[in-house]
């Protein structure tokens, strides 16, 4: 039979992409329920070309639901994921709440699809978008050359902070546009934004237009940002390398959607650029764009709205043995969020066939 699917958080930035992805991939589901907070309940949204009324998040909404995909804040998942699982749904959770729980698999279908079946709590987690942006590529390289270390700098899009993140960048750009003196004096961007936008709240701790902000997430021990810690812990769990050495600096940049990562990766064995090309070109969901002589490399503006992981600028590290440097781009709302969850749901749906 075809399983019943519920999308929780159907009205958010990821929820919107999720409806689009579910509508465009093979139709594996019977009924689909759209679920959101009381504030959004009653709205009419489309999925698979049908108008559906958004239902309020209540325990009863999970009755008869086989698969529930949650894209809601951590604290909402903490409360509601166990309720959905208790009522019999297999939950695919996008929040950070359960990712590091040893009884919850953390799945990237290209890397560890078998882990989806080992879910004693009925919960499967999907990784943070920053981790996901590189996982298909790093998983493929790891499989053949054995990954030992990752040193990563991220260039994260504002939609990682949800609809409010994108709205803020659009507002800031509009507020600053046309002033050709801006960005030349310390603090002038901040001042201009204060004048034009007043106390409008920003999800970012500094102006993001005409700027880069070396901060993403919340403060963790030792001055690390939560995004940096997630990248380390999640990479270890997905790749199954508990002692993988990882160090990351996460940076927000004035891009609406698509995260980019500069990755310095060290392997157990010598690996050449040609080896990396061969492996990545064979990986079904990876696209290699690597011809710098002709200006070919991935940029967020060129790949946004598409599904693959794009890799370019592949270089042999000059001073580090067995190491490559490369640049990766991935749409943080698609593979980074909705698509990975949809792919996990497809693995679970196959169990109903
Ligand atoms: C961000 N990775 O980009 C986060 C979203 N989960 O802010």
ipTM field? 0.95
Evaluate: CB of 166 within 6 angstroms of ligand 1. no
Atom of ligand 1 nearest to the CA of 94: 6
The answer to whether 156 is a known ligand-binding residue is yes
List 90's β-bridge partners, or say none.
67
List, as one string, the DSSP characters of 265-281. Answer: EEESS---HHHHHHHHH
Question: What gap in Å lies between CA 316 and CA 334, rounded to an integer?
Answer: 30
CA of 268 to the centre of ligand 1 (A): 30
Distance CA 251, CA 254 (A): 10
pTM for the model = 0.96
> Is any ligand 1 atom within 6 A of the Cβ of residue 216?
yes
Please give the pLDDT value at position 114: 98
Residue 115 has a pLDDT of: 98
C-alpha to C-alpha distance for 88 and 321, rounded to whole angstroms: 50
Residue 113 CA, ligand 1 centroid: distance in Å: 23
Q: Is 331 in the pocket of ligand 1 (CB under 6 A)?
A: no
* C-alpha separations of 192 from 158, 208, 225 in Å: 20, 13, 28
Among residues 151, 150, 143, 114, which one has the least CA distance to residue 280?
Answer: 143
Q: How far apart are CA 122 and CA 116, in angstroms?
A: 10
Asked if residue 231 lies in contact with residue 134, where contact means CB atoms within 8 angstroms, the answer is: no
For residue 249, the 8-state DSSP code is E
Given a contact cutoff of 8 angstroms between Cβ atoms, the answer to whether 84 and 65 are in contact is yes
pLDDT in the model for residue 246: 98
Q: Can you give the pLDDT of all 353 residues of the chain as single tens digits?
A: 999 999 999 988 899 999 999 999 999 999 999 999 999 999 999 999 999 999 999 999 999 999 999 999 999 999 999 999 999 999 999 999 999 999 999 999 999 999 999 999 999 999 999 999 999 999 999 999 999 999 999 999 999 999 999 999 999 999 999 999 999 999 999 999 999 999 899 999 999 999 999 999 999 999 999 999 999 999 999 999 999 999 999 999 999 999 999 999 999 999 999 999 999 999 999 999 999 999 999 999 999 999 999 999 999 999 999 999 999 999 999 999 999 999 999 999 999 98
Three-class SS of residue 168? helix
So what's the pLDDT on residue 51? 97
Pocket test for ligand 1, best of 227, 235, 341 (most atoms within 8 A of CB): 227
* pLDDT at site 350: 97
What pLDDT score was predicted for residue 13?
85
State if residue 227 touches ligand 1 by the CB under 6 angstroms criterion. Answer: yes
- Round to whole Å and give the CA distance between 88 and 83: 9
CA of 319 to the centre of ligand 1 (A): 32
Residues 131, 238 contacting (CB under 8 angstroms): yes
pLDDT at residue 353, rounded to an integer = 85
Residue 330 in contact with residue 92, Cβ under 8 Å? Answer: no
């Amino acid at each position: 039979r075809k399983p019943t699917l519920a999308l929780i958080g159907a009205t958010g930035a990821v929820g919107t992409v999720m409806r689009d992805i579910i509508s465009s991939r093979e139709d594996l589901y019977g009924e689909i329920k759209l679920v959101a907070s009381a504030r959004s309940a009653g709205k009419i949204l489309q999925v698979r070309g049908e108008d559906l009324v958004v239902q309020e998040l209540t325990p009863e909404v999970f009755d008869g639901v086989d698969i529930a995909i949650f894209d809601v804040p951590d604290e909402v998942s903490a409360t509601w994921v166990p309720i959905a699982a208790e009522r019999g749904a297999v939950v695919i959770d996008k929040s950070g709440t359960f990712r590091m729980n040893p009884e919850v698999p953390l799945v990237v279908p290209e890397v560890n699809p078998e882990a989806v079946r080992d879910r004693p709590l009925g919960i499967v987690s999907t990784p943070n978008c920053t981790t996901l942006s590189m996982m298909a590529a790093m998983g493929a390289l790891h499989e053949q050359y054995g990954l030992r270390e990752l040193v990563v700098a991220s260039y994260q899009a504002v939609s990682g902070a949800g609809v409010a993140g994108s709205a803020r960048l659009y507002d800031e750009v509009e507020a600053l546009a046309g002033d050709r003196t801006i960005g030349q004096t310390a603090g002038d961007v901040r001042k201009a934004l204060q004048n034009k936008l007043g106390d409008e709240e920003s999800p970012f701790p500094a102006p993001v237009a005409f700027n880069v902000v070396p901060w993403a997430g919340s403060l963790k021990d030792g001055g690390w940002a939560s995004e940096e810690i997630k990248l380390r812990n999640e990479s270890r769990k997905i790749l199954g390398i508990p002692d993988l050495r990882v160090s990351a600096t996460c940076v927000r940049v004035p891009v609406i959607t698509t995260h980019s990562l500069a990755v310095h990766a060290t392997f157990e064995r010598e690996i050449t650029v040609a080896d990396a090309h061969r492996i990545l070109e064979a990986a079904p969901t990876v696209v290699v764009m690597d011809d710098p002589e002709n200006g070919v490399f991935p940029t967020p503006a060129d790949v946004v709205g598409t599904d693959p992981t794009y890799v370019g600028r592949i270089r042999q590290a000059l001073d580090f043995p067995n190491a490559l440097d490369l640049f990766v781009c991935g749409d943080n709302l698609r593979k980074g969020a909705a698509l990975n969850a949809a792919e996990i749901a497809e693995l679970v749906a196959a169990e109903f066939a």
